[in-house]
Amino acid sequence: MGGTILNVITVAIGSTLGLLVGNRLSAKIQESVITGLGLVTLFVGIDNTGKTGNIIIPLLSIVIGVIIGELLRIDRLLEGLAGWLQTRFGGQKGESQDERARFITGFVTASLVFCVGPLTFLGSIQDGMGLPIGYQQLAIKSVLDGFAGMAFAASFGIGVSFSIVTILVLQGGLALAGSVLGEFMSAPMINEMTAVGGLLLMGLALVLLDIKKPRVANFLPALIVAPLLVATATALGINIYPL
């Protein structure tokens, strides 16, 4: 859990600094910052997607995962949590609907950026297993998230700060799972999960670049489906990486 706590601290510091300077930045600068983050997110997503050894696995994972996500309406649940947090902790009398929407957008966007990626899953699981490399990976992620949190908070406001709740719950849960199940995660399972995470980051980049607004949260189950497909294929003796 040490890596997760460090991540929470860096995001809290970064988002606080972003809130302090955000009002001093013009709307054009804030828009350009978000566009820059979108471009970087797109690049990272493409790079991560290349980790797959068989594109059929991410394809099936995405299709199955998004069907599950749409049925569960995960995006509504995440937005509902953001709305509750805004009302409970961030709301003020006289706030407009635009300010509420900005809070929710900041929370959801930051939560997805910080929690979808190979360092989140691999680092948290290995950290839970007590491996030094897991903490090192989360330390790198923490630094990156700190700077990203600063940029997001400058544009989206205080909602970004509350993404630490998502980080704590998800990465903490993964660390706990790693302490129990981490030794059963094979390299192919991790690689395919990383590839699926890359596709989700590409979807999130479309949102940041204001090209399209896919319900990225509803694709999250695909991150679980991918390693399960690999494990199932292995158990059935199916070679998913043909020469």
pLDDT digits (tens, 9 = 90+) for 154-190: 888 888 999 898 888 888 888 888 787 666 778 898 8
243 within domain boundaries: no
52 within domain boundaries: yes
193 within domain boundaries: yes
241 within domain boundaries: no
pLDDT for residue 180: 79
The angle subtended at Cα 105 by Cα 164 and Cα 80, nearest 5°, is 75
159 within domain boundaries: yes
55 within domain boundaries: yes
The answer to whether 86 touches 100, Cβ cutoff 8 Å, is yes
240 within domain boundaries: no
Tokens at residue 228, please?
């399960």
Tokens at residue 165, please?
């709740």
Nearest to 205 by CA among 32, 61, 43: 43
pLDDT for residue 85: 83
Distance CA 174, CA 224 (A): 12
Residue-wise pLDDT for 134-145, tens only, equals 787 788 788 888
The answer to whether 142 touches 150, Cβ cutoff 8 Å, is no
100 within domain boundaries: yes
Tokens at residue 236, please?
């059935």
Residue-wise pLDDT for 35-45, tens only, equals 888 898 898 88
- For residue 168, the tally of other CB atoms under 10 A from its CB is 16
Distance CA 224, CA 39 (A): 26
First to last CA, the chain: 39
Name the phi and psi angles at 204, rounded to 5.
-65, -35
Distance CA 11, CA 133 (A): 21
pLDDT for residue 109: 86
Q: Is the whole-model pTM more than 0.85?
A: no
Q: Domain containing 120: what range?
A: 2-235
Give the number of domains in the chain.
Answer: 1
pLDDT for residue 91: 57
